[in-house]
Amino acid sequence: MKVAVAKETFPGERRVALVPAAIAPLKKACGELPGGIEILVESGAGASAGFSDAAYREAGAEIVSRDAVFAADCVLAIRTAGACGDSWCADRDRIRPGLVIIGLCDPLSTPDACREAAEKGATLFSLELVPRITRAQSMDVLSSQANIAGYRAVLVAATALPRILPMMTTAAGTVTPAKALILGAGVAGLQAIATAKRLGAQVSAYDVRPAVKEQVQSLGAKFVELPLETGTSEAAGGYAKAMGEDFYAKQRELLGKVVADSDIVICTALIPGQKAPVLVTREMVARMRPGSVIVDMAAERGGNCEGSAPDDTVILDGVTILGPTNLAAEVPFHTSQLFAKNVATFLGHLAKCGFPDVSADDEIYRDTLVAKGGQLVHPKVRERAGLPPLEASPA
């Protein structure tokens, strides 16, 4: 089987789906496939992340053209289908029946692109849909990438803030520590807390899920508790669940004072496949001290902060609001390394299950398979695409 690594074409995307060090483990993991696998890498695919074509050759890969990548049996990518934006159009025309594509697809927000892949006859796996179960943790690309993004968000905020984060006592006087508030204590939020603490900030965090209080406190941060009914705030897999507008209105009212007293606010709250909840209103921004900084990691999904704009800097009432949409790509060496481990483990798992003829009884295969046999097969993606449920999903 020929497994090919595509060069990313999405603007600003500097990561690569497979790094040279992951090639040997991937070949070993796929050893159960008849004849094993052959790795092809598009020329220049790893250059932006710090991995040369020569490094891939030394690791046992063949450097090829983009046409040769899509002539392979399986294509690995960071972004494909809807996650690839307008760049998807050129790749869509290269798809042929039977091609397997593995990568981030954004299937719940852009199901039409996945439907196009299905109509071309591709077998499409979306890594956003890896189930949050113990045996799939090493395949969880959302967690591995969000971890680094949370770290990066704090550095971005610290750079924009016109003051330092740690307390300093000097002959010229004492500098008080900056106050950082992290909204959302998922993977990105917890790493943001840890990074802000390491930089010396006074850190508080809020999450709608009371179960994360212990995790927040274990990192040395103060957990902000609001008198709200949150018993149904956590969905399956540990993700936050969308709440009603009355809940969010009350939440914003109670958070206002905490936000106003913060020098840095990092917004990380996302609901998979849905518009991000608004946690910080313009009125709350107006109450913050001039020079304060908000980093809205949810800007691409509508934003947790009113007034934020994707990949733009907005100044409101003296407060700087940043809306980065791809923080993981700003640290491409290590995020590529982590992604490669995730995708190699995922493909190795499929190989052990008899890939490409995997039984739909396998939860990991079933939950990540979006398209096969000329149609969308994932129930949630079909629903988003306005299609009726399948009578029986293909094995």
Burial 246-278 (b: 16+ CB within 10 A, else e): ebbebbbeebeebbeebbbbbbbbbbbbeebbb
Order of all β-strands in the sheet with 313-316: 222-223, 202-206, 179-183, 264-267, 293-296, 319-322, 313-316
Q: Kind and range of the H or E element at 254?
A: helix 245-260
CB 266 within 8 A of CB 197: no
Measured in degrees and rounded to the nearest 5, phi and psi for residue 98 equal 90, -10
Residue found under tokens 């934006």: 85
Q: Kind and range of the H or E element at 296?
A: strand 293-296
Catalytic residues: 132, 137, 140, 143, 239
Residue found under tokens 């994360």: 212
Six token digits for residue 5 = 């690594």
CB 161 within 8 A of CB 184: no
| Of residues 11, 23, 14, the one with CA closest to residue 343 | 23
SS3 39: strand
Six token digits for residue 112 = 């039409």
| Of residues 71, 4, 75, the one with CA closest to residue 41 | 4
SS3 79: strand
Q: CA-CA distance, 318 to 347, in Å (whole number)?
A: 49
Q: CA-CA distance, 110 to 107, in Å (whole number)?
A: 5
Measured in degrees and rounded to the nearest 5, phi and psi for residue 134 equal -55, -45
Q: Where are the beta strands (DSSP E) in 25-120?
A: 38-42, 62-64, 74-79, 100-104
Q: CA-CA distance, 112 to 109, in Å (whole number)?
A: 9
Six token digits for residue 269 = 């709250």
